[in-house]
Chain A
Amino acid sequence: MKIKTHLWDGLILFLVAAFLILPLALTFFYSVFTEWMDILPTGFTLSFYAGIFSDGAFINSLLRSIVISIVPVVICTIAILLVLYVITLYVPKLEKYIEILCNIPYAIQGVILAAGIISLYSGKPGFLSNRIFLLVGAYCIIILPYVFRGLKNMIGALNVRCVIEAAQVLGCSKLHAFFTIVIPQMKRGIISTMMLAFTMIFADFVVVNMIAGSAFRTAGIYLYQTMSKSGQTSSAIIVILFITTLLISTLTLMIQNKAIKSTKGRKA
């Protein structure tokens, strides 16, 4: 009976793993063969990868993608942390209004948001009509609910008011206590939330295409433009983007584990 159960468990796991890995594996295989006309592909080559990496435009677009994904995440996280500081310690009554406000972007489609932003700000003087500025702003709005929810849940799990009061009695100011005691305790949650928001933006094509288009060529745009030229090259780009995300996730996980160890991971 037990062996039968294990078999079922193994089968389910295998199917799920196959469902997740198969598309990526096929994409990878397609990117390292020149032809795939029969059951098995023929003509193994790494030339598509070599071509991509020799194209400076791709490296630049990849770096742009990374930068444009990090900047809004950092801005949004700092802003939400400050908002949480204020509503937790000074005006708890505002919490429900902030929550409603932060949940609004859930209901807005990326296309509608991008179209709305363009129609509102295009032609406006100065930095307001700057496409990169608009893009950063749009991304901040898109990730706002996720960042707010992630950080709010984390701060809710801590007895912030009491910890801050304990620090105040010891001579510390509220703000200092928030940044030296509360935020370090939230490190794990902050990193997870930032990673989630980062991957959302990194994978975006719709918003960046509508707001910035060719003016700010990210990896997504580069991929889109390559798709019409070569299927294998675009498959290679997808694999590279996947590996980039994987590397960033691994790095985040390592930082997170370090954070766990430095707080309460050192169990006796």
Chain B
Amino acid sequence: MAYIEFRGICKSYDGVNQVLKSIDLDVEKGELVTLLGPSGCGKSTLLRSLAGLEDISSGQIILDGEDITNTPVQKRGIGMVFQQYSLFQNMNVEDNIAFGLKIAKMDKNEIDKKVKAAIEMVDLYGKEKSYPSQLSGGQQQRVAIARAIVMEPKVLLLDEPLSAIDAKLRRELQEKIKRVQKELKITTIFVTHDQDEAMIMSDKIHLMNQGVIEQSGKPVQLYTHPVSKFAAEFIGHYNILTPVDLTAFFPEKRYPGNYYAIRPETFMLSKEPIEDPAYLTFDAKVVDFISRGNVLRYTLQCKDVVFTSEVLFRSFALFEPGATVHVGIEEHNLLRLND
């Protein structure tokens, strides 16, 4: 029996359109799992259902062996961090963190001790008396995390907590959240639409699309073996090709099914013909290239098929637009998709 069990969760706001379509999902104790998906796929609704902030139309939610489907939000023992921080502006950092403990009527000395520990854990020492408006976005989100973990919740829910924060700070906070999660061994569900963030943060990713779980697995597994066109497009910058497209590359071969996915970094580009028999080879023309920091992304064309390839940016562009390149790919990197 898993620590958190979602059983046949359905949710509809208008009785017609289903936001969640019979979701079954297990989360093990101490895991950091991510609900990943585009806007409107139902990931936040599922998270809010677990928190008790959203009623479900049907189904059952079990937490630590107890059915909490109809338990009021206040009694679920869940901590939550929201995208908009949701700090109490009229209270300073200390009071924000202590709020839940005071509601629980905990002893004052105990509250002080716990608040101090939480502040240290999120590195906000010296900011105890500051008000939210005096803090940066990252600091505010750390207060929100401290406010949630100080309650020692059974589950910590993070609803796109880093989406309003700039890239550099986001990386720092990702590490911070991971460290705190590992230290406290707290079961955590993280919601994001950012696949890179999901890859960095998660023990396990559940990819959602249109109210269903499209694919679940470890980050590497999801990245290397997407099962559907949606998963391939969402998780990596896969080239999605039809069997006809592949025939343009390899005229002598025939491919069954509807779609194939090829990761851009699996293509080998060379000025010289590729002799290695492990590679299937063809020629393509360089249409354009862009630099994405340490990676060069080429747009290539073979007959009518346009595709992308990524190589590490070592010195300068290897190929100029208009040049013809030899392209090689190992056959196992042609991933056949289910749909």
Question: What residues make up the interface of A, taking CB atoms closer than 8 Å to B?
Answer: 159, 162-163, 165-173, 176, 181, 184-185, 187, 262-264, 266-268
Contacts and interface: CB of A to CB of B under 8 A. Distances in A.
Contact of A169 (B73, B87, B90, B91): B73
Interface residues of B, number: 30
Main secondary structure of the interface of A (DSSP, over half): helix
Interface of B: 51-53, 73-75, 78-80, 82, 84, 86-91, 99-100, 103-104, 130-134, 144, 147-148, 151
B88 A162 contact: no
A170 B90 contact: no
Contacts of B148: 169
A267 B134 contact: yes
Contacts of B80: 165-166, 169
Nearest to A186: B90
Contacts of B99: 167, 170, 172
Contacts, number: 73
B155 to A, nearest CB: 11
Given A163-B86, A264-B89, A170 B131 contact: no
Given A263-B133, A267-B133, 17 more contacts: A159-B86, A165-B53, A165-B80, A166-B86, A166-B87, A166-B144, A167-B88, A169-B148, A170-B99, A171-B104, A172-B100, A172-B103, A173-B74, A176-B103, A184-B90, A264-B133, A264-B134
B74 A263 contact: no
A29 B144 CA distance: 60
A165 B74 contact: no
B166 to A, nearest CB: 20
Contacts of A181: 88, 90-91
A159 B82 CA distance: 12
A166 B103 contact: no
Given A169-B51, A169-B79, A162 B84 contact: yes
A161 to B, nearest CB: 10
Contacts of B90: 181, 184-185, 187, 262-263
A167 B144 CA distance: 11
Nearest to B72: A168
Nearest to B81: A166
A263 B88 CA distance: 9
Contacts of A162: 82, 84, 86
A226 B53 CA distance: 63
23 contacts: A162-B82, A162-B84, A163-B88, A165-B53, A165-B73, A165-B80, A165-B82, A166-B80, A166-B87, A168-B52, A169-B78, A169-B79, A169-B148, A171-B74, A171-B100, A172-B103, A173-B74, A181-B88, A262-B90, A263-B90, A263-B131, A264-B131, A264-B133
Nearest to B86: A166
Contacts of B82: 162, 165-166
